[in-house]
Amino acid sequence: MNMRGKTVLITGSTDGVGRYVARRLAAEGANVLIHGRDEARGKTLIAEITRDGHAAPRFYQADLSSLAGTRSLASAVTADHKRLDVFVSNAGIGSRNGGPERRESADGYELRFAVNYLAGFLLAHLLLPLVKAAAPSRIVNVASLGQYPIDFDDVMLTKNYDGGRAYAQSKLAQIMFTIDLADQLKGTGVTVNCLHPATYMNTTMVRAGGITPMSTVEQGGEAILRLIEGDDVAGRSGLFFNGLGEAQANPQASDAKARARLRTLSLQLAGISL
């Protein structure tokens, strides 16, 4: 896909792999919409991109740990744009960020489930009219190889909480949603795929978690860019990739009943009526 003139929203794009992807797409002539919580980081990224001689991206500040903040982001993007060629759901919290204790979002949901999964779920639904208007268009969910089956009797992990499990559960939820949404969008010209970009990239999130990086941001960025613009994945949907290769997710992702159960719960938690 030629990205010149294409409008792309990337959540969590003021740092790490999202920042790399934003800069690359801006260099290719895309109309990049960047998102983050920190306005100063957003301004710094805009300055870097314009200094390189490219069009200034539009920055949207929003806290995706609250449904109100997520809805605010969707409303702002919808007010400013009539179409969205690509939506990249990249914002997230790592398995060790914020300490070992269980934390909740502004809405009372387990924090990693809220930020890593539910915010992207809500944004995709709210932005879908813009994405459909740009068809053929793409949705890319940045997930992980770290996956843990969802316990529907304790989705918010109120018992025996573990940050690693919370992170892995939220990432499997992303993958299940990807497959589910891809099925719903068959015939619309919108594809939905997800990926594990690279293992422990050299990002702030990884370093803050006390983990020694194993991969570069560039490696992960190239994998994400492939799903955004690669001609070889055009028309392919509902897939999970490990880097550049197609992969198998946790078996629960293939369970249609589990996906339906997650969809019903997510619509309820996000306050969406279809």
State the pLDDT confidence band at 236, using cuts at 50, 70 and 90: very high
Peptide bond preceding 136 in cis form (omega within 30 of 0): yes
Burial of 27 (0-12, 13-18, 19+ CB in 10 A): middle
Per-residue confidence (pLDDT) for residue 215, from 0 to 100 = 78
How many other CB atoms sit within 10 Å of the CB of residue 60?
A: 19
Residue with tokens 């969406």: 272
With respect to residue 1, please indicate whether it lies within any of the assigned structural domains.
no
Please provide the average confidence, as pLDDT, over all residues in the chain: 94
The dihedral formed by the CA atoms of 177, 181, 183 and 184, expressed in degrees to the nearest 10? 140
With respect to residue 66, please indicate whether it lies within any of the assigned structural domains.
yes
- Contact present, 122 and 272 (Cβ < 8 Å): yes
> CB within 8 A of 158, min separation 6: which ones?
102
pLDDT at 207 over 80: no
Tens-digit pLDDT profile for residues 106-128: 999 999 999 999 999 999 999 99
State the pLDDT confidence band at 212, using cuts at 50, 70 and 90: confident
Residue with tokens 């268009």: 137
Among 69-78, 130-139, 147-156, 213-222, the range scoring the smallest mean pLDDT is 213-222
Number of domains observed in the structure of the chain: 1
Mean of pLDDT values over 75-93: 97
Report which of 126, 129, 121, 244 is spatially closest to residue 178, judged by C-alpha positions: 121
Can you give the residue range of the structural domain that contains 179? 7-270
Give, in degrees to the nearest 5, the angle at Cα 116 between 61 and 249: 145
CATH number assigned to the domain comprising residue 69: 3.40.50.720
Per-residue confidence (pLDDT) for residue 98, from 0 to 100 = 63
- Catalytic positions: 167
Kindly report the pTM of this predicted structure: 0.95
Mean of pLDDT values over 156-179: 96
Mean of pLDDT values over 47-56: 96
With respect to residue 65, please indicate whether it lies within any of the assigned structural domains.
yes
Per-residue confidence (pLDDT) for residue 196, from 0 to 100 = 95
With respect to residue 2, please indicate whether it lies within any of the assigned structural domains.
no
With respect to residue 189, please indicate whether it lies within any of the assigned structural domains.
yes
Tens-digit pLDDT profile for residues 135-155: 999 999 999 999 999 999 999
pLDDT at 213 over 80: no
With respect to residue 205, please indicate whether it lies within any of the assigned structural domains.
yes
With respect to residue 162, please indicate whether it lies within any of the assigned structural domains.
yes
The dihedral formed by the CA atoms of 183, 239, 74 and 188, expressed in degrees to the nearest 10? -40
With respect to residue 138, please indicate whether it lies within any of the assigned structural domains.
yes
pLDDT at 99 over 70: no
